[in-house]
Structure 1
Amino acid sequence: MMKKIIILSIALFSISAISCNKFLDEKPSSFYTSDNYYKSYQQAQNAVNGIYTFTRDFYAAVGLYEEDAMLMLENPTGQAKSDINQSNNNANLRNLTMQTTDLYFNVWWRSSYKGIDAANLAIQNIPLIPASVVTDVQKNQLLGQARFLRAWFYFNLVRIYGDVPLVTEPTTSAAGLQIPRTATKDVYEKLIVPDLLAAEQSGLPFSDQTGRVAIGAVKSLLAKVYETMAGFPLQQKDKLPLAKQEALDVINSGKYTLYQNYDQFRDAANDNKMENIFMVQFAPGIAGNPMFSFTLPSFSYISNGQQEIGTLLPEDTFFASYSASDKRKQEKQFFYSHYPNFSTGVDVQFKNGEHIYKFWDDVAQASGQGSGKCFPIIRLSDIMLLYAEAQNEADGMPDANSYNYINAIRARANLTPLAGLSEDQFRQAVWRERNHELCFENITWFDMVRTRMVYDTKNDAFVPMVGYTLPGNNTAKFQTKHYLFPIPQAEIDANPKLTQNPGY
């Protein structure tokens, strides 16, 4: 039998997989084979730790200095603009003129499949370790993490590209990568849902403040998966009660709490705690989070030598769509329009108006070093709003829990409580709250494609996505093809069994 080469993600990168609590600090420098690896619990843990590495690729700087793969899911929402316009990749997204060769499409595709391959290796090899070396309890918990991460990578892939190749075994040769696309429905039903159901029974703790996957994250992702399956393109409405129940399990667990204020959102001390259910892990000096630099106003000189890039800021009509009484709209909550010069203390008024304060990092601003703030993937507020939406859709009217959850989030924003709404009124209230609360967290785009509705910020209304013209750009109008992004041309060139999405 051909010896299988274990290409660990921890061996492919010069930095190790790490977390805000530094639970991943291995730096192996060579490749391993199935004959000399998976011989101890530490090696098995290292293999799973390595899978986490790839979650950072989507939130790390790539290409030119103003480029980050997460921008792929923000620029085309109509809610983002930039101080600078030096990147064709960003401009194509804001203009809806995406090309099959654009950088971000390659990053999301390749890093997802690298993570999947690392997960496949762990899932195949960990069960083979003798129980005298790694107990069944330990194996199940390691496999639970690997299955969650594999499901998360595939969940992103099907929402971004639609039908994608379904790879469930470790890759041993280039020929193993030349497989056709699998129907989206089958990817959900054959891998994503089964992986998460298995992870749900893996014996992991309900919460984990080190940044590792826990049952709360598994149930939250499963709720998001069911909610998405209930929407477009599958429209499996029978998944709504399942989404509602998984979300309710997380909310009622008592393991997660809403931030009392937005300062707590920005405080790195709260990473992997309180409202954060699952985050992408960063740490200063090891793997920095570029979001602070990307959201600093361009050349504003308000930080201690940070790159002030200004590649992501709120589009004017999106900022204006917040109620005047909404605390998130107030200075230094989610946004800010001025700040003292770092050296002189003179107040600097930003030339392009409001910028994003959501990812502000006091430590990085003062030190000039990279931000170690972890990036939120799933927050309790997301799951509370998801429950409210799923329950309202499933039952035809909002229940007391749904009102309680949305009103708790509104109360934090100093907004009046909702009551007495019809099904459609409540639906749009939840959508509006998701847009305002979860902005710039790579959630809005996925909400748009699963509902096929977009927030018309000029008119404070939700309208069909197709035919909608992005604010500030009269030529950028959504077409049916924009429900999906293009398959990277490099992947089609390398795999003749792949086909391109329609319209690209």
Structure 2
Amino acid sequence: MKLHKYILALVIGVSASSCNDFLDLKPISEETTANAYNKLSQIEAALTGTYESFQSDAYVWNNVQFQDVRSDNHYAGGDNPFFYEVDYLDISATNEKVYQSWSNIYNAVLKANIVLERIHDVTDPLLTEERKNEIIGEALFLRAFHYYNLVNLYGGVPLVLQVTNSTDASKVNIPRSTATEVFAQVITDLEESSQLLPDTYGSDANVNKARATAGAAWALLAKAYAQKPNPDYAKVLECIEELDKSAANYRLIDYTHLFDGAHFNNDESILEAQWIAGSDGNWGPQMLLPPSISGDDWRKFVTPSQDLIAAFDSEGDDIRKNASVLMENVSWIDEYYGIDQPSDDNPLPNNVAFAYKWKNASGWSSADRQYFLRYGDIVLLKAEALNETGQLGLAADEVDRIRTRVNLPKLTPEQKSSKEVLKMRILKERRLELAQEAQRWDDLVRYDVVVQTMNDLVEIDLRNNTPIDYNMTESKILLPIPQQELDRNPELVQNP
């Protein structure tokens, strides 16, 4: 897919091509990396190039594949064999999406490192000390964001914290750090960025939701403290307390407004992609939406699972279900929803579920956004942290905030009767709240139920009327290190 420009309202927009090599030093703006960045316009352009990584396949598409399709939320759909590997938990080191995410995200790390290094070369008097600190904070946040995703996908990965312009194998062939070390770096970067970044850049939400803010740093820091190998839930609560103090005034809004395509950069959004319909639009919705919306009739990708729909139905959760899933008759055969061939009497026999949090295809160039961080996620994370620290009543109150806004009753005494019971309720609430938002696999791993969940999952392949055997094991929790990287870097060791 072609890379579209990522438009930021207050940052100078300079086109930047994505490069796939781990240590590729191609320009990230119209300036070359060989030149010193001595003008404010040059470093702002470099920063814009850093944000543009949010439009790479890793964050438009593969994140949903590796979080929702890999889990119990969605099927692969479509016809891509690499996606079927993800769906059936049989992912090879040569899977092109495994390599694509690795290379896209490391390319984003490189861009952030260039900004962090070259900001100190700028002698332009137009660069104030305040703006310099903001730029450093933004770059630190972005590097942390990318490493947070890398460590969750692959486990311990090489920590590249400086721009590398050497061809010396001893300098470019970097061994893997441990997951604990990577999370420590993520936390270090976020703690520093939280002190450098403002709550807002003014009154324009189109800017405040497009760029890293102190609120974004506190939100991601809370997630990192929860997701790391030895979670620190007291720190999670401290970070969320700081987030709630933000002058950005994050709050829950009407759930249907989150995904209707008419309330971008809303009060619940902490950080979201800034797609512009037209030449710089989001191509993802065309891949998911049904014929009545997309205008084409080929089999679509990332279809909601029968198990996810049953989870919505078991709660009577019509509001979130209708915001997340759309059923439509189609002419193609689907192994989970129908295998009948169309006939003259019944030209559209199969009623198939479609992912619906993106709602506008717009001919491969939609304005529909992705939330990278939103407050609803953080409210449920707060509930999780309160529960883990023994504050069950307060934890239930946070869950009820999420439930009552979609017209569901508050938790019953039985549903919050113990720490373990409430923990599982929170996990289910996260599933219903965040489906198709690239959160589910990380949640299952953090709750230590991913193996059990996938092995207990009953999904029937209608072609032979037998259940799918996912054969989930601990060794499948992480993605394999891409074979291309193992071949290039002998210091790397494959995951189990």
Q: Compared with structure 1, are the counterparts of its residues 123 and 87 closer, same or farther at alpha carbon in structure 2 (3 Å cutoff)? A: same
Counterpart-to-counterpart distance in 2, 1:303 and 1:355:
11
Q: 1:168 to 1:156 in 2, by over 3 A?
A: same
Q: How many Å apart are 1:316 and its aligned residue?
A: 0.8
Supply the distance in 1 between the matched residues of 2:166 and 2:411 (Cα, whole angstroms).
57
Seen in structure 2, the aligned counterparts of structure 1 residues 306 and 360 have a Cα distance that, compared at 3 Å, is same
Aligned pair count? 452
Q: Percent identity, aligned pairs only?
A: 27
Describe the shift of the 1:470–1:481 C-alpha distance in structure 2 as closer, same or farther (beyond 3 A).
Answer: farther
Where does structure 2 lack aligned partners over 5 or more consecutive residues?
18-25, 332-346, 461-466
Map of 2:388 onto structure 1: 393
Gap change, CA 1:172 and 1:306, over 3 Å in 2: farther
How is 1:364-383 mapped onto 2 (pairs within 5 angstroms)?
Answer: 364=361, 368=363, 370-383=365-378
After superposition, the Cα gap between the structure-2 partners of 1:469 and 1:83, relative to the gap in structure 1 and judged at 3 Å, is closer
Q: Following TM superposition, by how much is the alpha carbon of 1:200 offset from its aligned partner in structure 2, in angstroms?
A: 0.6
1:245 to 233, 238, 248: 238
Q: Say which SS state the counterpart of residue 459 (structure 2) adopts.
A: coil
CA-CA distance at 1:22 after TM superposition? 8.2
Q: Is the 8 A contact 1:59 1:290 kept in 2?
A: no
- Residue 286 of structure 2 aligns to a residue in which SS? helix
Alignment partner of 1:184 is 2:176: no
Change beyond 3 A, Cα 1:75–1:466 = closer
**CA drift at 1:352:** 4.1
- Whether 2:57 is the aligned partner of 1:58: answer yes
Q: Is the 8 A contact 1:18 1:281 kept in 2?
A: yes
Q: Which runs of 5+ in 1 are unaligned?
A: 1-12, 62-66, 342-347, 455-462
1:187 corresponds to which letter in structure 2? Answer: V
User: In the alignment, which residue of structure 1 is the partner of 2:7?
Assistant: 18
Shift in CA distance, 128/437, structure 1 to aligned 2, threshold 3 Å: same
Alignment partner of 1:268: what SS? coil
Partner of 1:121: 114
User: In the alignment, what sits opposite 1:437?
Assistant: 433
Give the whole-Å Cα distance in 2 for the aligned partners of 1:138 and 1:380.
Answer: 27
User: Is 1:407 matched up with 2:400?
Assistant: yes
Note if 1:497 corresponds to 2:491: yes
Cα deviation digits, residues 406-457 of structure 1 (max 9, x gap): 1121112221012542212211111110011101111001111222214xxx
- Of residues 475, 481, 484, the one that matches 1:487 is 481
- State how far apart, in whole Å, the 2-side matches of 1:425 and 1:215 are: 34
In 2, Cα distance between equivalents of 1:137 and 1:382: 31
Deviation of the 1:119 alpha carbon: 0.7
CA drift at 1:60: 6.6
Report how far residue 17 of structure 1 moved.
3.2
CA distance in 1, matches of 2:296, 2:423: 41
* C-alpha displacement of 1:171: 1.9
Q: Cα distance, 1:173 vs. partner?
A: 3.1
Pairing 1:215–2:192 present:
no
Alignment partner, residue 86 of structure 2: 93
Structure 1 residues 351 and 25, CA gap change in structure 2 (3 angstroms): farther
- The equivalent residue for 2:189 is 195
Pairing 1:220-235 to 2, within 5 Å after superposition:
220-229=219-228, 234-235=229-230
Q: TM-score, normalised by structure 1?
A: 0.82
- Give, as a single letter, the amino acid of the residue that structure 2 aligns with 1:327: D
TM-score (norm 2): 0.84
C-alpha contact 1:278 1:377 (8 A) present in aligned 2? yes
Cα-Cα RMSD: 2.8
Q: Cα deviation per residue 1:79-98 (whole Å; 9 max; x = unaligned)?
A: 212443x2111111111111
Q: 2:301 aligns with which of 311, 315, 318?
A: 311
CA apart distance, 1:71: 1.2
- Alpha-carbon shift at residue 73 of structure 1 (Å): 2.3
Deviation string 1:344-400 (CA, Å, 9 cap, x unpaired) is xxxx97824322222112xx4xx5452121211111110000001011102x23243
